[in-house]
Amino acid sequence: MNLTLKVWRQAGPKEQGKIVTYDAKGIPTEASFLEMLDIVNEGLIKGTEEPIHFEHDCREGICGSCSLTINGVPHSKERATATCQVHMRKFRDGDTIWIEPFRANSFPIVRDLMVDRSAFDRIVAAGGYIDVRTGSGVDANSVPIPKHQADAAFDAAACIGCGACVASCKNASAMLFVAAKVSHLGHLPQGQPERQKRVLAMVRQMDAEGFGNCTNQYECEAACPKEISVDHIARLNRDYAKAVVMEQFV
């Protein structure tokens, strides 16, 4: 199949960017979206042009690094699908595809389609660790956890930190990401000792990073490749409100 690509090119964070048009010819329908970009880059390199810079790692929908906006939608219009899991059979011969980086002030562009998402790392670091004894493995049944709590914790832990929630939100809010990270440990007994301290630290770090506020339009859930539920945001709000009140008595 033959395609026309409209790709955002930017030499560096302080350089001016622009959309550049490329012809993608002879693309196999069984190729993934990133493999399509590899084919285009091979042609650019042979022609002594600078290849299109984009981030990737596992290419299995696990690491979250393949964060692109395809035709204006983070990761693409496919539900529960990361960019690396999108296949060219979802497009038609002759299509024009617009490819841009995630847009958010807290995700500064590094080059072309690559953005710096280290703000997420700093939010996670602000949450700290849990106080548990390390050493030999603990028997799986030594700490009974109700199934509904275990399922909720697993749902939150599925977050891969790709940033699609931020890119899809008109306010560039990171509430779904932070809610998932807070809720993951908040549903488990191991996360209870630091529960209030954790939510205060992570929310305040999120605000310090410049992410916007949540206005409950739920674009984040729709764009999330792991379909993290916005129910976690409600839980985050409750935990944060309680922690703020309790902080006054400490």
Q: Could you give the domains of the chain?
A: 3-110 (3.10.20.30), 118-247 (1.10.1060.10)
Helix H or strand E encompassing 4:
strand 3-9
pLDDT in tens, 187-215: 998 889 899 999 999 999 999 999 999 99
Q: How many CB atoms lie within 10 A of CB 8?
A: 19
pLDDT value at residue 162? 97
Bridge partners of residue 70, in order along the sequence:
73, 99
- Find the mean pLDDT for residues 213-220: 96
pLDDT in tens, 120-169: 999 999 998 766 666 676 676 777 889 999 999 999 999 999 999 999 99
- Average pLDDT value over all residues in the chain: 94
Helix H or strand E encompassing 18:
strand 18-24
Task: State how far the Cα of 24 lies from the Cα of 40, in Å rounded to an integer.
Answer: 6
Task: State how far the Cα of 17 lies from the Cα of 9, in Å rounded to an integer.
Answer: 6
Q: Please state at what angle helix 231-247 crosses helix 195-208, rounded to 10 degrees.
A: 100
Q: Which residue has the tokens 């979250």?
A: 64
Q: Is the pLDDT of residue 95 over 80?
A: yes
Question: Which tokens belong to 95?
Answer: 């299509």
The pTM score is: 0.93
pLDDT value at residue 126? 96
